[in-house]
A and B are shown apart, each in its own frame.
Chain A
Amino acid sequence: MKKAYLGIDIGSISTKGVVIDKDNKILASTYLWTKGNPLKAVKEVLHSLKNELDETSQIVGVGTTGSARKLIGTILGANIIKNEITAHAIGTLSKYPDIRTIIEIGGQDSKIILLKDKVVIDYAMNTLCAAGTGAFLSSQAERLDIPVEEFGNIALTSNNPTPIAARCTVFAESDLVHKAQMGHKKEDIVAGLCKSVALNYLNNVGKGKKIISPIIFQGGVSKNIGVVKAFENILNEKIITDKDGHLMGALGVAILSKQQKEINFTFDIIEDEFETNSINCSGCPNNCEIICVKKEHELLDSWGNRCEKGNQIINKEQKTFHNE
């Protein structure tokens, strides 16, 4: 019986899963869209991981990360639930031990992680707006009627990128429309857009941070060769991209689960019915939204509660389950 470890990264746009052995070798991996339903996405991920994996492996560690880490972690009984910053750092370090800068641009958020001597020394995430993330690029691709997968290659054909205002998505968009109406070529606009994503990232997330090579670029947007080239031109450094770049968070949290107490995980969980329920506590004008996670007739966990009044509601919820 081989020991294996499962890591799942449930992002806003996509859900990633990996299974590794004790030497951090990837045994199986999947990647699919979350489509606003993390529960369903995770079940699909588990299903495909199960098919990929041979019978002899036994999963003894489960880790979750990403924005739905708490919900999925509770349901799977994970032995570690970690934020995506730490998970990405650990995952990347396992493949590139000398890395100094991680640039990550995903569907909804972007972050920068600075490392030194294999330890995170600084990080930042985008704050209030999602400018220059994958969501912005794909909506602009649609506007220009270009499949988002070809975006990068089209950008590379341009010799003269059109300057596009990088500060804010709304400005960038109106700038783009204006430039298109003025008669700029499509490939120039696409290249300009890639450049503006890179500039926006460096001006917002990377502001005040020292970007030292070696640099790795991860997240969905790193698959766009146009943005990679734009970063290389601006920073004047080589940018590493990895074919498993999107899996780093899942990989990191799987590695972290190795240090925890072993658990017994089976794929039978796919068959179980889970349900989430949100209750509005009306004890005071604060109206806390309490989320209860249930498996069959059992309350697994709840969160969102702030005071005693909410506790009573949760207890009541628990009791009604037992009575059923």
Chain B
Amino acid sequence: MNNIISFPHLGNYYHPISKLLSLLTEEEITPSPPITKKTLELGTKYAPDTVCIPFKYNLGNFIESLENGATILFTAGGGCRYRYYAEVTETILKDLGYHFKFYKLIKKDMLNWKDAYQIFKEINPELTKKHFLHSIIYTLLFIFYMDEIDKIIRKNIGFEINKGEHQKLLNKMLKEFKQTDSIIRLTKLYKKYKRKFKKIKKDKPKDCLKVGIIGELYTTMEPFANYELEKELAKEKTEIKRFTNLSYLLWQKPLLKRRMKRKVKKYCKYYLGADGLDNIYRTMYLGKRKYDGIIHIKPFGCTPEITAIPIIQKVCEDYNLPIIFFSYDSETATEGINTRLEAFKDLITLRRKNNEESIFRD
């Protein structure tokens, strides 16, 4: 019987990940079905109640994969209690009676290439080191190019004239990216699409509203988990700056770590786990660059971010920067979030005007 490899969702990243897996193994690759309310229901049903929402989404993804016949599951790992999620997930799924092999790619907070090679060698004994290296570089570039394009999209999507043009072009780009195995061809495609994205007709004023999104990694990167916050913001004609993406987590963060710690010294002496310290640094970064506001998002009960919030509030006070905090959990009523978001938009717009004459006097 052939194996079917599957893995949970995180935004659009299932494209490069499934490409990587198909390069390294001979097996059939099927990512989990797209996240829906059913995914969340399944996850919530079988997960411990107080665990954070990314765990529930992942668990739901795994269950749906297994129902579709997956036999090998991949997961990452991370800097907070996410480290231990793989073990808990595996136990829960085995208790539910599923049979599968479970691989955890990130151990001790860092992706260890040697370990990763061993894992893939086990699945595909014919794998050579050269081919492994090529595939890894190819995938990292794929991710990097995707993230670079995403940055352009976030800057401009709120101002496009023909609605949906960015999304259409992005889908086309990802499709073409996946069709090639060559690094050179991939780079050429990236350059071609970068030009295309810049050419999209838009109506963007120079002094548009600029908002930074910071916070926990899963809720910032998975649109379903933050109720498509970025889309809502784009509707309101704002430019969005988001720091967290896979390129950042995979190789930019380790390089920036020491610099960030030095820069935030005034506010924070010790290293704050997961992305806590990063978010304090980002708040300062956005404050210095005179952004109009910050949206901080996290799953309900996310300990590293809760630790960082009072410090972030202090930074915002010093830089006179408006900020709102959103906590996401398994409730899917978007009304409360939208009310607060709308009020936030009013707040930053009115602040911008900052005219002496208030609305009620004219």
List chain A positions with a Cβ less than 8 A from chain B. 24, 67, 82-86, 90, 93-94, 97, 118-123, 125, 127-128, 208, 255-256, 259, 284-287
Q: Give 19 new A-B contacts, CB below 8 A, not counting A67-B335, A120-B347.
A: A67-B339, A82-B346, A83-B340, A86-B342, A86-B346, A90-B360, A94-B360, A97-B358, A119-B351, A120-B350, A121-B322, A121-B351, A122-B322, A128-B300, A256-B359, A285-B36, A285-B37, A285-B39, A286-B36
18 contacts between A and B (CB under 8 A): A67-B335, A83-B340, A85-B346, A86-B346, A93-B360, A120-B347, A121-B322, A121-B347, A128-B300, A208-B310, A259-B359, A284-B36, A285-B36, A286-B36, A286-B37, A286-B38, A287-B36, A287-B38
Shortest Cβ distance from A88 into B: residue: B343
In the complex, the answer to whether B343 meets A83 with C-beta atoms within 8 Å is yes
Q: What 1/0 flags go to B36-50 for Cβ under 8 Å of A?
A: 111100000000000
Shortest Cβ distance from B228 into A: residue: A306
Given the complex of chains A and B, what is the CA–CA distance between A125 and B322 in angstroms? Answer: 15
Is B354 in the interface zone, CB < 8 Å from A? yes
Q: What 1/0 flags go to B321-356 for Cβ under 8 Å of A?
A: 010000101000001100110110011001100100
Is B247 in the interface zone, CB < 8 Å from A? no
**A-side contacts of B354, CB under 8 Å:** 119
List chain B positions with a Cβ less than 8 A from chain A. 33-34, 36-39, 300, 310, 313, 322, 327, 329, 335-336, 339-340, 342-343, 346-347, 350-351, 354, 358-360
In the complex, the answer to whether B327 meets A120 with C-beta atoms within 8 Å is no
In the complex, the number of residue pairs spanning A and B with C-beta atoms less than 8 Å apart equals 68
**B-side contacts of A259, CB under 8 Å:** 359
A91 to chain B, nearest CB (A): 9
Given the complex of chains A and B, what is the CA–CA distance between A148 and B343 in angstroms? Answer: 32
**A-side contacts of B322, CB under 8 Å:** 121-122
Shortest Cβ distance from A127 into B: residue: B327
B67 to chain A, nearest CB (A): 11
Taking a contact as CB atoms closer than 8 A, the residue among A97, A123, A208 that contacts B347 in the complex is A123
**B-side contacts of A285, CB under 8 Å:** 33, 36-39
In the complex, the answer to whether B359 meets A83 with C-beta atoms within 8 Å is no
**A-side contacts of B313, CB under 8 Å:** 208
Given the complex of chains A and B, what is the CA–CA distance between A284 and B335 in angstroms? Answer: 22
In the complex, the answer to whether B327 meets A86 with C-beta atoms within 8 Å is no
**A-side contacts of B38, CB under 8 Å:** 285-287
**A-side contacts of B327, CB under 8 Å:** 127-128
Q: Which of B36, B339, B354 has the most CB of A within 10 A?
A: B339
In the complex, the answer to whether B358 meets A93 with C-beta atoms within 8 Å is yes
**A-side contacts of B300, CB under 8 Å:** 128
**B-side contacts of A120, CB under 8 Å:** 343, 346-347, 350
In the complex, the answer to whether A85 meets B37 with C-beta atoms within 8 Å is no
In the complex, the answer to whether B343 meets A85 with C-beta atoms within 8 Å is yes
B338 to chain A, nearest CB (A): 8
